[in-house]
Amino acid sequence: MEQLQEIERMIQEGDMETLNVYLNQLKATTDLDLIYEVASILAAYGFMKEASDLYEVLLVHLPNEAQLKIDRANTLIELGDEDEALLLLNDIKKDDDEYVQALLVLADYYQLIGLAETAIDKIKEAHERLPEEPVIKFAYAELLLDSGRYAEATHYYLEIKEQVNEIGDVSIISRLAETYSAGGAYEEAIPYYEEMLQDTSTPDVLFGAAFAYYQVGNPKRAISLLEELIAQDPDYYSAYMLAGQAQILAGKEQKAYDLFKAGILRDEFDKELQLSAGKCALKLGYSEEAETYLKEALVLDPEYIEALVSLASLYHTTERDEELIELLTDANEYIEDISTLHAFLAYAYERTELYDNAYESFKKAYSGMKEDHEFLASYASFLVEEGKRSEAVKVADQLVKLFPDDSNWRAFLESQNDEEV
């Protein structure tokens, strides 16, 4: 015992010279129990190379000891020597008592390197061997959760809950709430969030519960939880976004706008808050404020298409054509496949009498706007004005097929048929 305490003292004081002398002497002894205890202490303090060396010494004396193979494999994985670690783990026989432990180590390793399915296979085999062991069930459920297999993960968390309420420091109730939410089963998640809230109202629990209530269309409860959260932690930035969205769901645009602005005061670099504030300002008729927020969102992310569309829509609605053209010309590389923005450009070019540019923009917009009555009517009218009557007939024909009650364009088509006759 005194020797172990002395080892810990050397480690804590950083006396590596004395420690190395002692370890070299220890390797020459035959006190295998002491060597093992020292190796365990070294591993616990993160001295993996020194621990691995001692486990290697022990394996010379006990080459068939499965636990030593597992212990050394763990240190080798930490040291980046995975190949030798895998050789040791795969050398453990299926009838060894430690085989399940080896499977768990292999599962951790395969998860670490991104081979999730292989990791799951290892845990599954361990679970089949010890089906009632809650720790193995928990490890299995955790891997399934990480892999997005929410229904399967939920099944095992529910089984664990019948046995224990916690594994380590992890609440099974919290895992059930998280897993149901991750899988979109918000109704099922809510009772578990409420059960958690009876014991703890941490910001994360409040946010998770509020999000679930928002998703099931209960903004009142979501808002109540988020107000409590913001009062508890004003710097929980994502709470402002969700609280604003919940207020919109409740039909309270002004309160939503105030929340988005409050969030921006806390985190001015959140582009989604800037966008939400801008869109909300538009609905409330605050055009200048909307423009400011939308521009700021684009400063934060010039490729933020949703902000670009919203700002372009504002310029289009107010016929600020030069600003619209400048905005979308600067963003030309981002908007190739966005028909709405090409339509806005077409209208702006037409109003500013840049007809060749308008024609090109109308053509680019057409493939994605073939079912939009306003666009089709504008495009057909433009083509008629430009003397491109055959093209106008094709667009008008598309319009009338979709909107047979449009008598003006039906009359236009009939007049074209009469002329041909």
Q: Report the share of the chain in percent with pLDDT over 90.
A: 67
Contacts of residue 197, Cβ cutoff 8 Å, sequence gap at least 6 = 205, 206, 209
**Host H or E run for residue 160:** helix 150-161
Q: How far is CA 170 from the centre of its chain?
A: 22
Q: How confident is the model at residue 419 (pLDDT cuts 50, 70, 90)?
A: low
pLDDT digits 0-9 by tens, 207-236:
999 999 999 999 999 999 999 999 999 999
pLDDT digits 0-9 by tens, 277-286:
999 999 999 9
Q: What is the pLDDT of residue 97?
A: 87
pLDDT digits 0-9 by tens, 387-412:
999 999 999 999 999 999 888 898 88
CA 38 to each of CA 23, 31, 102, 325: distance values in angstroms, whole numbers, following the listed order = 9, 11, 22, 73
Q: Report the share of the chain in percent with pLDDT over 70.
A: 99
* pLDDT greater than 80 at residue 418: no
Residues 343-352, mean pLDDT to the nearest whole number = 96
Contact 376, 392 (CB under 8 A): no
Q: What is the pLDDT of residue 168?
A: 83
More confident of the two residues 190 and 332: 190
Distance CA 322, CA 345 (A): 10
Q: What is the pLDDT of residue 420?
A: 55
More confident of the two residues 265 and 96: 265
Distance CA 411, CA 300 (A): 50
Q: What is the pLDDT of residue 199?
A: 87
What six digits make up the tokens of 348?
Answer: 């702006």
Work out whether the CA dihedral 395, 401, 402, 407 comes out positive or negative. positive
* pLDDT greater than 90 at residue 2: no
Residue with tokens 């004395």: 18
Distance CA 169, CA 381 (A): 69
Q: What is the pLDDT of residue 95?
A: 86
Residues 150-162, mean pLDDT to the nearest whole number = 93
* pLDDT greater than 60 at residue 309: yes
Q: Which amino acid is at 231?
A: A
Of 228, 312, 299, 230, nearest to 270 (Cα)?
Answer: 299
More confident of the two residues 263 and 129: 263
Worst-scoring range by mean pLDDT, 132-141, 295-304, 327-336, 376-385?
327-336
Q: What is the pLDDT of residue 111?
A: 85
Residues 300-326, mean pLDDT to the nearest whole number = 95
pLDDT digits 0-9 by tens, 99-128:
998 999 889 888 888 898 999 999 898 988
Q: What is the pLDDT of residue 416?
A: 81
DSSP characters over 56-103: HHHHHH-TT-HHHHHHHHHHHHHHT-HHHHHHHHHTS-TTSTTHHHHH
Rounded to the nearest integer, the mean pLDDT of the chain is 92
- Length of the chain counted residue by residue: 421
Residues 80-98, mean pLDDT to the nearest whole number = 89
**Host H or E run for residue 48:** helix 48-61
* CATH code reported for the domain at 1-92: 1.25.40.10
Q: How confident is the model at residue 421 (pLDDT cuts 50, 70, 90)?
A: very low
Q: How confident is the model at residue 10 (pLDDT cuts 50, 70, 90)?
A: confident
DSSP characters over 377-413: HHHHHHHHHTT-HHHHHHHHHHHHHH-TT-HHHHHHH
What six digits make up the tokens of 208?
Answer: 């998770």
